[in-house]
């Protein structure tokens, strides 16, 4: 149990990433593809936070606990993840705007039909 626990979060992150990639590659709808990309992004959050976790630790926020009274987890990766989520949300928005533009120009949101259009 404890040995599996050493790598389980990393494996879950890898699994989520691969699942998202599978969805991206087989997607038949561009908006669905954007959703799959969001799944891929969430894998990076899991990986980063898993790296920073410390067994028995608590959040490095000292508004309600005395500094130094309890072990804390790594704040650096949490800050990175925060940035990651912001950038992920903007990427989703920008891609959705592009999808709407494609739908307007080509009248379809199926990636395969788009390929045929280009010839």
Partner 1 sequence: MNRLRLWLLAVGGTGLAALLVAACLDLPRFGGRSHPYGDRAVHASLRRHIANTIASVNFDQRAYDTLGEMSILFAAVLGCVVLLRQTRDEHRAPPEPAEVARPVRRYALLVLPVALVTGLYVIAHGQLSPGGGFQGGVVAATALHLLYLGADYGALERVRPLGVYETTDALAVSSYVVLGLAGLLAGTAFLANTLLPYGTFNTLSSGGTVPLLNAAVGMEVAGAATVLLAHFLDQAVEIEDATEEEPGK
Partner 2 sequence: MNGWILAATLALGGGGAAVLWGVTTGPPARRILAQNLATSAVCPALLLLSQGYGRPSYVDLALLLALLGPVGTLVFARLLSDDLAGERPSAWGLTWTAAGLGLAAVVAACAAAGPGRAMVKLLVIGVLLIAGNVIASRALAGGFRRVGGG
Partner 3 sequence: MADAVIVVTLLLTAACATAAVTQRDPARQALVLSVLGVVLAALFTVLQAPDVGLSQLAVGSALTPLLIMLSVRKTRRRGRSKEDRE
Tokens of 47: 């990986």
Nearer to partner 2, 70 or 105 (CB): 70
Is the separation of the CB atoms in 10 and 47 below 8 Å? yes
Residue 66 binds partner 2 (CB under 8 A): no
21: CB partners within 8 A, 6+ apart: 36, 40
With beta carbons less than 8 A apart as the criterion, state whether 44 and 86 touch. Answer: no
Count of residues that interact with partner 2, criterion CB under 8 A: 6
User: Measured from the CB of residue 93, what is the shortest distance to partner 3 in angstroms?
Assistant: 6
Selected from 7, 76, 100, 117, the binder of partner 3 by CB under 8 A is: 100
Per CB under 8 A, the segment of 7-15, 32-40, 61-69, 80-88 that binds partner 2 is: 61-69
DSSP label of 60: S
Q: Contact residues for partner 2 (CB under 8 A)?
A: 58-59, 61, 63-65
């Amino acid at each position: 149990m404890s040995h599996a626990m050493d790598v389980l979060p990393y494996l879950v992150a890898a699994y989520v990433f691969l699942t998202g990639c599978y969805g991206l590659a087989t997607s038949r709808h561009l908006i669905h593809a954007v959703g799959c990309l969001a799944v891929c992004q969430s894998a990076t959050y899991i990986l980063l936070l898993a790296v920073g976790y410390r067994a028995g630790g608590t959040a490095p926020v000292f508004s309600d606990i005395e500094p130094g009274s309890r072990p804390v987890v790594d704040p650096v990766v949490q800050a990175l993840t925060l940035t990651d989520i912001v950038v992920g949300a903007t990427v989703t928005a920008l891609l959705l705007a592009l999808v709407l533009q494609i739908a307007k120009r080509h009248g379809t949101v199926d990636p395969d039909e788009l390929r045929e259009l280009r010839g």
